[in-house]
Structure 1
Amino acid sequence: MAVEEQFPGVGVRQPKALVVRGGWEGHRPVEATDSFLPFLERGGYAVRVEDSTEVYADAAEMADTDLIVQCVTMSQITAEEVAGLRAAVEAGTGFTGWHGGIADSFRASSDYLHLVGGQFATHPGKRPGERAGGPEDNYLPHSVTITALGREHPITAGIEDFELVTEQYWVLHDGLNDVLATTTHPAEEWQPWQRPVTCPAIWTRQWGAGRIVVTTPGHSLDVLEHPDVRTVIERGMLWATRTASAS
């Protein structure tokens, strides 16, 4: 669906999407973001791709951007760059991403964490005796459960609870988030926590005139191809895009 079909009035001019990628290579930032470029282009976006967060400090470029898709795990960001990102979102630029590319970015920047409303803390692993020393040690079967709000929201409406076998993110979060889906970490006998812990798996956040969407599944390319994960991310791009009222 083209963005102007979902948000009438945006189509007065061609919407502009900025894809920012980099950081830890384990999340395949180039391949992962490349897989969404055809969707954006089919949707009528003019797409710019940057391999650095330096663009966030370019006030003119950011003011002309309707959607930012970020895939930058860990890494660092300057105070000027994060200030530029925050100002753009507050003025109406949409901001979205998945997994560590948005929820585990710039750990040392409290201003960035305040903006996105959630920070990766861990992804619990398998029983110690079942671990072989590879990334699969952290691939756990788990459910993504759509909330009551999520069942009515344009991003997740019509999507049923679904199952994944991949990293299950435990995130620290705050009450400004509108949670569309959750995931629950069980209390296993080898873990130090004594009761199940439910964390947001998909959330939105209003920041000034801007919309933020965070989807925590997406560790690997195969997870990004899961029909429900992909639908959520693509709908999130459309929903986050600057609306006519925010122009």
Structure 2
Amino acid sequence: PELRGVLASIGIVKGKPFNPTVEEKQLLEKAVKTAPKMITAQRLLGRKDERNLYYKDRQYERAWAGATSEYMQESYLDIDQRAAFFQYAYSSAPAMVMRTMNAGSKYPFTVRDSKGDILNGSHQYKLHLPANPPAKLFWAVTLYNVVDGTMPETSQLLPSKNGFDNIEKNTDGSIDLYFGPQLPNGAPESNYIKTIPGRDFLTAIRLYGTGIEFFDQTWKPDDVLKIK
């Protein structure tokens, strides 16, 4: 009903012909091109209330910004956050926002490095994950294109690493993953995700079967560090 109401406001109603004027067609074509840019700009600007941040000292965001899976905040429908989410994702469900120990899933993500700069495929980065990511089922780190949520098309099969991969670990069990257009010097290829030069990307950490250590923040991923 909500979407149909928006469409009705510009004359699109089920069972009725839609015959926009030449001027209206031009406006609609402009809107199709402009709206995604506005949504992206809003996403990158962030929220003044900081409801979208997981941590006070990290760049990681939560896609629902404290709302329900239908984007209801305490007293309003968060249409801006909903628009931002569906620009890079395709579905939302109650289980994604519930605090379900060892059964649910969480997806902290970031579009910024440790200094607050937008992640860009021309640079090289390192992501340090403390030992034992709190994911009873499995964990994964995946890169996505900022503007539409698609995956970077590189020579690698997938722009992702997960707990089932043969990843090199540090002596304390922690993990260092590397992103960039080329493999950074000294980095193991097993821990490397390739990026596209000039293209902005976001880094998502997926925790399936999320453990208490994520919720009480005794386990926190480091910010993505720019190394070159």
**TM interval, short-chain normalised:** under 0.3
Q: TM-score, normalising length from structure 2? A: 0.24
More strand by share: 1
Of structures 1 and 2, the one with the larger relative CO (CA 8 A, separation 6+) is 2
Q: TM-score, normalising length from structure 1? A: 0.23
